Amino acid sequence: MLEISRRDARRQALAGLIDYAGLFPPASLELESAVAEYRAARTGADAWLVDRFICPAGRLVDLARVLVATMQPREAAWSLVVTATPEEVRLVSDFATELGRSARIDVVEMKLPEGATSARLADLLATFDRVVFFEVPWQQSVGESLAVLAATRESSSRSLGAKLRCGGLTADSFPPVPVVAGFLAECARHRLPMKATAGLHHPLRHTDPVTGFTHHGFINLLAATALAHGGADVTTLADALNETEAAVFDLGPGGLSWRQHRFGADSLAAMRRELFVGYGSCSIAEPVADLTTLGILPVGA
């Protein structure tokens, strides 16, 4: 088996990039199947690519039941991302008790409440103590939403970030490239950690032959975020997000490059640590297969 060393730029760019969202569309797996798939992923050859298991707050009691019944001897506790409403998030501690030693809730994700202000968000955050990522409504002013989050983080001293939904089951669920570019630029400007979700199963921007929807690619997103982290302008970010030619990307042991731009292992590590936390995907097999086909992952990595 070939291994990717910890100094390899591919590891800096991709380690823990994927939060597993098998319970969510389009996979929408049964709980037992999602648990089995994530368990296999977190113990398999590609485990270094995978981070947390994403679970809706309303499914936590069922998840606790399944985990308690199926936990393997000496299996490490699961790290969870919980998606919740403002009403549900107040019960996070109770949910954590149900999980016992089988899992811990490390991150909460929720939609940014309509009309949110820094004061209102601070009041909400005072009801629980987890890291939180607020999904911003990209159909409205992304800049205003991110400014509120940045102000809230500063005033509350809480660990929080922004989340962008990059796709869905309808064509209008996919944010236009200029919106994504603006989101990345503003997150970088505010030093606001960000996550993404939906529609990012494949590395490069492409049009799905079945639905006709044009999807963002997670390698495009990585490159554009690296550019944003380095201070590139929004036009350059948009160009990277729009790129569909695999030949102009390269991610290898020495770094990530897109056309004339190149980022070494250290800058990729800083970008992942400070800006791009990761993205949710209901598939792990598809990203791994595509990265292997592109030659980014060696066979059996």
Question: How far apart, in whole angstroms, are the C-alpha atoms of residue 45 and residue 279?
Answer: 20
Q: What is the mean pLDDT of residues 167-179?
A: 95
| pLDDT exceeds 70 at position 158 | yes
Question: How far apart, in whole angstroms, are the C-alpha atoms of residue 58 and residue 102?
Answer: 17
Q: Give the residue, 17 or 71, on which the prediction is more confident.
A: 17
> pLDDT tens digits, residue range 100-146?
889 999 999 999 999 999 999 999 998 888 999 999 999 989 999 99
Q: What percent of the chain has pLDDT over 90?
A: 85
Q: Which of 61-75, 190-204, 247-261 has the lowest mean pLDDT?
A: 61-75
Domains and CATH numbers, the chain: 13-287 (3.20.20)
**Residue 72, pLDDT score:** 87
**Residue 238, pLDDT score:** 98
**Residue 87, pLDDT score:** 87
Read off the pLDDT band of 299 (50, 70, 90).
low
Cα 274 off chain centre by:
13
Question: How far apart, in whole angstroms, are the C-alpha atoms of residue 140 and residue 290?
Answer: 33
**Residue 300, pLDDT score:** 57
**Residue 3, pLDDT score:** 57
Q: Give the residue, 233 or 130, on which the prediction is more confident.
A: 233
- Going from the C-alpha of 141 to that of each of 20, 118, 158, 170, the distances in angstroms are 29, 16, 23, 21
> pLDDT tens digits, residue range 68-106?
899 988 899 999 999 999 889 877 878 888 888 899 999
Closest to 116 (Cα-Cα) out of 131, 132, 130? 132
| pLDDT exceeds 80 at position 250 | yes
Q: Coil, helix or strand for 56? A: strand
